[in-house]
Structure 1
Amino acid sequence: MSSVLDEWLWHQEYWLPPGITWEDMEDSEHARYPRPRDLTIAIPYAFVFIAVRFLFERFIALPLSKHMGIKEKSRRIAPPQPTLEKVYTTQNTCPKKSDLLALSKQCNISVQQVEIWFRHRRNQDRPSITQKFCEASWRFAFYLLAFVAGLCILLDKPWFWDQKECWKGYPQQVLLPSLYWYYMVELAFYWSLLFRISLDVKRKDFKEQIIHHIATIFLIGFSYCANYIRVGTLVMLVHDASDYIMEFAKMLNYAGWRKTCDVLFVVFAAVFLITRLVIFPNVVIYTTFYYSMEIFQPFFGYYFFNILLMVLQLLHIFWAYFILKMAAKFVFIGKIDKDERSDDEESDGAEEEDGRMESKSASLTKRNGVLNTMTNGMKSKSNERNKLPKAR
């Protein structure tokens, strides 16, 4: 098996520039280089992250949510309906109108009642506000620590200030212990996100999130194997720069701190657009496309690495669309609506309509009562004037 992997997967012409072999990347007494087998340690660390996340959400995030005054909305429980429950769990959670008519005949209830039952049933499966708050708290804690740690690691590195230093001496660049752990922690975290993505809060960009996690894992793994570590650290730092602001804004939104959340969203939008649409393509992608060609000729790893970077950039543009859409509402309306990607609870349109009709009828009744009182008062005053003696 190892010989097959060495021949087809870890072929040196794929991952290393022309003229460089794996023997040139062997460790010595004074230098240590990245090895593909190092990536396997990220898998058990991913499960460690999952366990730490469970403890964090239970003993830190959950008490914090109560301290910040988060209250759950009361949800209506769908009444027992075996036929509808079977359709919901095995076929479709949102049936069409033709299916609703057939189900209403089977259950001997109206189509509107069937529609309301499915709406309540979908709301039951949606995550609670507390669950969303705990998830955002965990991501906020990690992204903040990762960004601060990344800054501390890279501030004294020459390639942080001059990107041409990313390729000085490539690919025989010594792997520092700080860079090794920076890589392994980030890789393990994204593995944990991918393992738990089916259990986390699902949003409209669920597929894009999967693509993002897979592309990030491939990008981190390949950049480590091909010793693109200097560029890889810049990529991770750029991504962590805005993520923790977004997660903190989510926490404030779930807690009902709307004004503070709106201000923080403006800060997040500015940082996101600058880091993802300006710095990332003009600094990171530019140095991998052009500066690297001054050191070596293009090879398979060169194209593969740049394709992954372009996939991330397309996802940045996709998410920037939602951010600019929300920012436009903030500028022209004066407030920020809910996250365009979020999947919120559905309301019962018929019940809301009934409530509006009842409130209208109540207001009309009050209005008619006031009019009757004014009319009766005017009549009584006119009668009193008629009883008075006429002036000569």
Structure 2
Amino acid sequence: MNTLSSFILNERFWLAGNTTWQDFARIERDENIKLTNPNDLLYVYPLAAIISVVRMVFERYIAKPIGRSLGIQGRVKRNTTRDMKTTATTVSSRSTPIDANQTDKREQVDSNDSGSSVSTVRYPRTSPLAKFSESCWRFTFYLIIFIYGVVVVLNKSWNWDTRHCWLGYPNQPLTADIFWYYMIELAFYWSLLFSQFIDVKRKDFWQMFLHHVATIMLLSFSYIANYVRVGSLVLVIHDCADYWLEVKDERSDSEESDDDDKNK
């Protein structure tokens, strides 16, 4: 177990220069300050569970009522395609020229099948309200965490002079506001990583899955190595764009619901 732990927490990989984990312990003891610790990441998992519960409550009692008030449909509709044989015939006629003999044969086949029932294929669709509520949750979180991040880093020295991101490293105390900033962000992305498999399936499913994995890895790396100063700046920049993307998704869901109403 000690060998595995030494391999995972290899100082040459995680830490800069001649810094060691013993330096972290010595600084905490001598300076009486709090530095980052890999064990702190254990807080993330119960936080992720709490965030998931908060999300369920938010979507049910806040997001969905808002969506209904905007006229977004909550029903799950289904698309019905035309008869597959007719569709294939139409595609074929558009893609390749046909002669008179082919036309006569097609008409004969159609006349023979005129008394048979037309087979249809139904494709399930997702409720626009479900998609809206998920986007609404992400928008709300991103907006709140962005505002929190701005408040946190606003009075930090490294926000105004990025050289302070590295001055004195690793002797850079971990403040409570930065600690919770990291823990909440990590917990949120862990919750997204698992909820993706039960959420509305979107076209960019695997792209977002890889995005969440990469984000978790980068956040964990920067926290363990105590690069939280530069990491906090990256988080603020990252979050400032995310809630705008969710606004776009919410608008798309609303427009999709309007199109469904028009097609009734």
TM-score normalised by the chain length of structure 2: 0.77
The residue that corresponds to 2:203 in the other structure is 204
Q: Does 1:130 align with 2:129?
A: yes
**% identical equivalent positions:** 42
- 1:180-195 to 2 correspondences below 5 Å: 180-195=179-194
- 1:136-175 to 2 correspondences below 5 Å: 136-175=135-174
Task: Tell me which amino acid in the other structure corresponds to 1:39.
Answer: L
Structure 1 runs (4+) greater than 6 angstroms displaced: none
How well do the aligned residues superpose, as a CA RMSD in angstroms?
2.5
Task: State the Cα deviation string for residues 18-64 of structure 1 (Å, max 9, x = none).
Answer: 32111110123631110001111101111111111000000111111
The residue that corresponds to 1:33 in the other structure is 35
Q: Between Structure 1 and Structure 2, whose CA radius of gyration is higher?
A: 1
Task: State the Cα deviation string for residues 219-272 of structure 1 (Å, max 9, x = none).
Answer: 0001000011011111211111011112123223323499xxxxxxxxxxxxxx
> CA 1:111–1:37 in structure 2 vs 1: closer, same or farther (change >3 Å)?
farther
* 2:133 counterpart SS class: helix
Q: How many residues align?
A: 222
**Which whole-Å CA distance do the structure 2 matches of 1:57 and 1:70 have between them?**
14
**Which whole-Å CA distance do the structure 2 matches of 1:200 and 1:40 have between them?**
25
Which runs of 5 or more residues in structure 1 are unaligned? Answer: 79-109, 259-337, 339-344, 346-351, 353-392
> CA 1:232–1:74 in structure 2 vs 1: closer, same or farther (change >3 Å)?
closer
Task: State the Cα deviation string for residues 192-228 of structure 1 (Å, max 9, x = none).
Answer: 0001111112222211111100000000001000011
CA drift at 1:12: 1.7
Pick which of 146-155 and 235-244 moved more: 235-244
**Which whole-Å CA distance do the structure 2 matches of 1:256 and 1:182 have between them?**
35
The residue that corresponds to 2:225 in the other structure is 226
Task: State the Cα deviation string for residues 87-108 of structure 1 (Å, max 9, x = none).
Answer: xxxxxxxxxxxxxxxxxxxxxx
* 1:202 counterpart SS class: coil
1:49 to 48, 51, 65: 51
**Which whole-Å CA distance do the structure 2 matches of 1:204 and 1:249 have between them?**
15
* 1:146 counterpart SS class: helix
**Which whole-Å CA distance do the structure 2 matches of 1:151 and 1:16 have between them?**
27
* 2:163 counterpart SS class: helix
Structure number with greater CO (CA < 8 Å, separation at least 6) is: 2
Which runs of 5 or more residues in structure 2 are unaligned? Answer: 81-115
Q: Does 1:5 align with 2:4?
A: yes
CA drift at 1:171: 2.0
Task: Tell me which amino acid in the other structure corresponds to 1:41.
Answer: Y
